[in-house]
Structure 1
Amino acid sequence: MVIGLGRFGSSLALELTRRGTEVLAIDSNAKTVQHLAGSITHVATADATDLEALRQLGVPDFYRAVVAIGTGLEASILTAALLVEMEIEDIWAKAITKQHGQILRRIGVHHVVFPDNDMGERVARLVSGRMLDYMQVDDDFALCKTRPPREYVGRPLGESNLRRKYGVTVVAVKSPNEDFTYATADTELSYGDVILISGRTDDVERFAELP
């Protein structure tokens, strides 16, 4: 179930539907619902802060729900509180600010996401450095796609002491015109390769800046 069909909510609902997940999408705007009808499994116009309206839509029967309300902190918090009251097992919610996220967690939301902030941080890292792609896996752990630094080209990874020196691990390597393959101790990097590294956020960023 996805509640709130702005840019984030509608994209999420459409992608879940594309992946074969049965989705109930809810929004208070009838025009938005009409526009998405036929593209999402089930779409309904309703006030998500109305407990009876949610019950009539069968919301208590759902296992997982996403509160994707983009504007109106009160509506977001009230909706999340009703889902907690209905004992939905897995509740996700979009937060606009850190304070908003803290409130959502305190009332019982299981997962709070900051899509606008997270995307801004990700793009900033890509624009400002040598990273080709970046994903924050946890608060202090990340995956990064980058090019191998000069000092590690032509040397087997097992002899590089890379993890001890920089705190990162080369997980996979992609040579030109080939697919990614898992890196081993015998893997030798070339200038044209793309590598996938993992480690603590600061270590990953530091390694990705090596020439």
Structure 2
Amino acid sequence: MGSRNRHGTRVAVIGLGRFGSSLARELVEQGSEVLGIDSDPRLVQRYAEDLTHAAVADTTDRDALKQLGVPDFRLAVVSIGADLEASILTTSLLSDFGIPRIWAKATSRQHGQILERVGAHHVVLPEHDMGERVAHLVTGRMLDFIEFDEDFAMVKTLAPNAIIGKSLSAGRPRERFGINVVAVKQPGGHFVYATEDSVIAAGDMLVVAGRTEDVERFTDLP
């Protein structure tokens, strides 16, 4: 079992379907100690060698979670998929245990709202979030899109003609377009932090940040 950065974080990942197993293995790879739990023995057997610990259990059973030491964890992820009742009951039990950081996967916004009400601190909607991200990518020149809040985003995009051949101080992207150029990458090069003296050339790749509508408008420039 490899480790790039053993930082000692202990994480309980409950539900070892596609999302949960991928998350759990990546956490191990990053150096976390991961307890993977699922009610399906086949999934537990499949991923047992990849995780620090793996166990078969009914996670809606308070005593079963206590026997596995789950209340001692400070971070837990509920990645149960189709069984909404199990997802909600498990999240509620983790909240009762007083676990400080509970992440939970939701299959819909309504499911997510219920998870928050019963104690989840962070709710993830993988299908919705990925669909929203891809929608931004396929409709413009964006090469990547990350929305940090409802109205703030960071994107990777090719430099538009409007600022090519100018330094950032002369092109004034913040004043003209409401965005900040964070980094610049020349063809074949690496990203470097942008400064007012950075001169943008044709083919340069930019990382820009700002209000979502502003970065969208910027990436639509010819």
Shorter chain as denominator, the TM-score bin is: over 0.9
2:209 is matched with which residue? 198
Task: Name the aligned partner's letter for residue 27 of structure 1.
Answer: D
- State the match for 1:60 in structure 2: 71
2: CA distance, partners of 1:164 / 1:69:
46
Q: Which amino acid aligns with 2:152?
A: F
- Aligned pair 1:150/2:161, yes or no? yes
Instruction: Look up the SS of the partner of 1:132 in the other structure.
Output: strand
**Distance (Å, rounded) in 1 between the aligned partners of 2:172 and 2:162:** 11
Kindly report the root-mean-square deviation, in angstroms, between the aligned alpha carbons of the 2 structures.
Answer: 0.8
Unaligned runs of 5+ in 2: 1-11
Partner residue in 2 for 1:20: 31
Amino acid of the structure 2 residue aligned with 1:98? R
**1:113 match:** 124
Q: Which runs of 4+ in 1 moved over 4 A?
A: none
Q: Which residue type is aligned with residue 144 of structure 2? A: D
What percent identity do the matched residue pairs reach?
57
Cα deviations by residue, 1:90-115 (Å, 9 ceiling, x for unpaired): 00001111111111111221111111
Equivalent residue, structure 2, for 1:102: 113
* Counterpart check, 1:72 vs 2:83: yes
Deviation at 1:78, TM superposition (A): 0.2
Q: Distance in 2 between matches of 1:28 and 1:186?
A: 58
Alpha-carbon shift at residue 161 of structure 1 (Å): 2.2
Render the CA deviation track for 1:147-198: whole Å, top value 9, x for unaligned. 1110100111012221122111000000112110000001110112100000
Cα deviations by residue, 1:6-48 (Å, 9 ceiling, x for unpaired): 1110000000011110000100000010011111111111011
Structure 2 partner of 1:43:
54
Which runs of 5 or more structure 1 residues have no equivalent in the other structure?
none
SS across alignment from 1:143? strand
Which residue number in structure 2 is paired with residue 3 of structure 1?
14
Distance 2:85 2:176 in 1: 49
TM-score by length of 1: 0.98
Amino acid at match of 1:85: D
Task: Select 2:194's aligned residue among 155, 160, 183.
Answer: 183
Say yes or no: does 1:122 pair with 2:128: no
Deviations 1:115-147 (A, max 9, x none): 110001111111121101111112211110001
| 2:194 is aligned with 1:168 | no
Of 128, 138, 145, the residue aligned with 2:149 is: 138
SS of 1:8's partner is: helix
> Structure 1: how far apart are the matches of 2:204 and 2:47?
42
What is the distance in 2 between the residues matched to 1:33 and 1:119?
27
